[in-house]
Amino acid sequence: MEEVIKRYNELVDFLNKCDHYYYVLDNPIISDEEYDKLKLELIDIERKYPNIIRPDSPSQRVGFEPSKEFKEAYHVEKMLSLENANNEEEIIEWVRKIKKEYKDIRFILEPKFDGTSLELVYIGGILKYAITRGDGIKGEDVTNNAKTIKTIPLKLFEENIKRIDVRGEVLISKEDFKKLNEELLSIEGRTFANPRNAAAGSLRQLDPNITAKRKLTFIAWGVGYYEGIEISTQYELLNMLSKLGFKVSHPFKVCKDEQEIIDFYREIQSKRDSFLFELDGIVIKVNEFEIQRSLGSTIRSPRWSIAAKFPALERTSRIIDIMYQVGRMGIITPVAILEPVEIGGVTVSRVSLHNFDIISKLDIKIGDYVYVRRAGDVIPEITSVIKERRSNNEKEVQAPKYCPACNSEVIKDGAYYKCINLSCPERLANHIEYIGKILEIEGLGKSTAQKLVELKLVKDIADIFYLEYHDILKLPNFAEVSSRKLYNEIQKVKAGISLEKFIMLLGIPSIGKANAKALANKFKTIENFLNCKFDELISISGIGDEIANNVLKFIMENRGIVEKILKSGLKVVNGEEKKKTSSFFYNKKVVITGELSQFKREEALKLLETIGAIPSNSISKKTDYLIVGKNPGSKLEKAKEYRVKIINEEEFYEILKSEGFLQ
């Protein structure tokens, strides 16, 4: 047992060190494979000896049950906010006011990353609580969620600090924010307005497993209550936090002159776009804690610090035209085509107007000068029309009578105009792209979806599941290997998808991820779902009369397409769906020789293809496995010569059984 504990401690310490180098220092010290191997060893020990699990084990970062709500938790020291300085004059005014009282004072300058603030309470070096700012006096206890953030140490590098309440910002990178919004838009039809909201929303998920999937980062910028450490300046604090294992607000700089402060403000502003995270200014702080204490605070904010904000990312441009886009549900979205304008380093020339209510609310006309805002990397939006610049030659925006893609008549549905032609090419291509996304079919992105529709290889959504290797080969940019790969990906999906995903892929109006999940939980099987009743539907929380009617109407009108999908051989499984890449044979080149007792050769090859293998008839140096049946041919000798791994019939069946492909 002693040996096990020794090895266990080694694993926890080493894996934590690896995480620190990877996530905090951006400097990996181990390969992903090696890391995964050690983590599996750790999990195995923890499964056998749950009593020895350490609170700072990497396994403790995920796996907590979703809670019903967050508990309230108090900050020992109040978490204040900052006053703003909105331009250089206001910065200089603030600095001079302080300097009047404290002549030889030092300031420290830090970037102001735009996220959501969080306090982490470490007792004896171990993370005990994570509390959101809330009203500054009490916030929400989000400890289980915070533990999923890899840049939050579960244990500090220095353990004998009695207590330290570390404060900082939870952030999502601009790139991950964009990816998250694309995913949310296509799956749930909603987006976060900016990275700050995305970080706050992700941190406050009731299910920590969702927080874990959103790539959040913690950057430390201060302390609340502490006991057992001696520090006297913010500069020392940031260095100490870094040594304890945190990423800190960086670059920071100590200085004394107004000019140095303005130079730093300008420098960070000019580099604003090159930061991974959204910035909305710099923070200027008095460096000495002693002077901070004597300056004190108002009820809202400290007098020893100020946020020097950067100008908002808003510019003017002119609407040249309004175009229409058809979404996967047939909704026609107006898009303003603008005279290109650079906002915060990005050229904006198209802005979605979402729906026609917005056009009338903002009174938008073609030819209008408008204010365009792009808060960081957020989808740009038109905030208002500059009516003073109208020349009276502006043209009214006409709602479309016919679909811009298929010319069929358009219907009005609330604020939306809709194309109701199910085989409208733009609508279908968007639907296929969406299916590729939710079923994680690698290679089935936007351009492939468009080409499949354009070449009439796909005339409805069911056709995706009937595509043959030779069909895919007809697409531009698809060669043998890529066609085989996409074909395999589709076969793998057909081997088993969950009812939730199946319901999602149909594209029923108002059924996004959450509602599809609720429907799948209620009905369990595809048969039950297709025979659902109004009363059963409205008994599900979140589903009211309108959604229930949408579901019933959809099932009635689209039974044919649903049956066509099922006839393709696509299996809807209860519970866990088969993981596409989990198969032993996934992406492996496999050859069969001799007779198999349970399959004809063609059947076995087809099955291998279905589970993602690349079957072949001849042995080469690149072959991964040779499956050997009775009376093998010359392939066996060749395989031995090339040192190809040999699998006998029994082993082959065992692998298939263990993966659930054979009874």
Q: State the pairing for strand pair 84-85/107-113.
A: unpaired
Q: Which is nearer to ligand IVH, 110 or 463 (CB)?
A: 110
Q: Which of 58, 139, 222, 612 is in the footprint of ligand IVH by CB under 6 A? A: 222
Rounded to 10 deg, the angle between the 480-494 and 601-610 helix axes is 90
Q: Which of 94, 107, 221, 625 is in the footprint of ligand IVH by CB under 6 A? A: 221
In angstroms, the CA 609 to CA 258 distance is 69
- Shortest Cβ distance from residue 178 to ligand IVH (Å)? 21
Q: Which is nearer to ligand IVH, 111 or 436 (CB)?
A: 111
Q: Which is nearer to ligand IVH, 84 or 408 (CB)?
A: 84
Size of the site for ligand IVH (CB under 6 A): 15
Q: Which is nearer to ligand IVH, 140 or 500 (CB)?
A: 140
Q: Which is nearer to ligand IVH, 20 or 75 (CB)?
A: 75
State which residue has the least CB distance to ligand IVH.
117
Inter-residue contact 222 to 237 (CB < 8 Å): yes
Q: State the pairing for strand pair 614-616/589-593.
A: parallel
Report angle CA 463, 465, 471 to the nearest 5 degrees.
70
Residue 409 burial (C-beta neighbours within 10 Å; 0-12, 13-18, 19+): exposed
117 is a site residue for ligand IVH (CB under 6 A): yes
Inter-residue contact 239 to 247 (CB < 8 Å): no
Q: Which is nearer to ligand IVH, 171 or 644 (CB)?
A: 171
Count of alpha carbons within 13 angstroms of residue 36, beta-carbon side: 3
Q: Which of 169, 426, 489, 500 is in the footprint of ligand IVH by CB under 6 A? A: 169
Stretch that binds ligand IVH, among 3-11, 108-116, 223-231, 586-594 (CB under 6 A): 108-116
Among positions 63-92, residues that touch ligand IVH (CB under 6 A) are 80-82
- Shortest Cβ distance from residue 158 to ligand IVH (Å)? 22
Length of the chain, please?
663
In angstroms, the CA 250 to CA 112 distance is 9
Q: Which of 19, 110, 377, 381 is in the footprint of ligand IVH by CB under 6 A? A: 110
Active-site option among 39, 48, 112, 365:
112
246 is a site residue for ligand IVH (CB under 6 A): no
307 is a site residue for ligand IVH (CB under 6 A): yes
Q: Which is nearer to ligand IVH, 79 or 435 (CB)?
A: 79
Q: Dihedral through CA 485, CA 486, CA 487, CA 491, nearest 10?
A: 100
Among positions 253-292, residues that touch ligand IVH (CB under 6 A) are 283
* Token couple for 57: 């084990």
- Shortest Cβ distance from residue 117 to ligand IVH (Å)? 3
* CA distances to 307, 598, 606 from 100, in Å: 20, 91, 83
- Shortest Cβ distance from residue 305 to ligand IVH (Å)? 6
In angstroms, the CA 226 to CA 15 distance is 28
Count of alpha carbons within 13 angstroms of residue 540, beta-carbon side: 24
Inter-residue contact 191 to 177 (CB < 8 Å): no
Residue 306: phi, psi to the nearest 5?
-145, 150
Q: Which is nearer to ligand IVH, 251 or 445 (CB)?
A: 251
Stretch that binds ligand IVH, among 146-154, 302-310, 316-324, 351-359 (CB under 6 A): 302-310
Residue 477: left (phi > 0), alpha (psi -120 to 50), or beta?
left
Stretch that binds ligand IVH, among 23-31, 107-115, 175-183, 475-483 (CB under 6 A): 107-115
* Token couple for 604: 């076995």
Locus of tokens 């926890």: 12
- Shortest Cβ distance from residue 89 to ligand IVH (Å)? 20
- Shortest Cβ distance from residue 86 to ligand IVH (Å)? 13
- Shortest Cβ distance from residue 222 to ligand IVH (Å)? 5
In angstroms, the CA 56 to CA 1 distance is 20
Q: State the pairing for strand pair 216-227/163-172.
A: antiparallel
**Distinct helix (H) and strand (E) counts, the chain:** 23, 25
Stretch that binds ligand IVH, among 22-30, 300-308, 355-363, 645-653 (CB under 6 A): 300-308
Q: Which is nearer to ligand IVH, 114 or 500 (CB)?
A: 114
Q: Which of 249, 488, 498, 583 is in the footprint of ligand IVH by CB under 6 A? A: 249
Q: Which of 70, 94, 113, 434 is in the footprint of ligand IVH by CB under 6 A? A: 113
In angstroms, the CA 106 to CA 108 distance is 7
Q: Which is nearer to ligand IVH, 53 or 312 (CB)?
A: 312
| 412 given a catalytic annotation | no
**Residue 654 DSSP SS3:** helix
In angstroms, the CA 265 to CA 314 distance is 19
Inter-residue contact 130 to 143 (CB < 8 Å): yes
Q: Which of 134, 189, 201, 302 is in the footprint of ligand IVH by CB under 6 A? A: 302
- Shortest Cβ distance from residue 290 to ligand IVH (Å)? 17
Stretch that binds ligand IVH, among 299-307, 313-321, 472-480, 610-618 (CB under 6 A): 299-307
H helix or E strand, kind and range, residue 73: strand 72-74
Catalytic residues, by residue number, are: 112
Interface residues toward ligand IVH, by CB under 6 A: 80-82, 110, 112-113, 117, 169, 221-222, 249, 283, 302, 305, 307
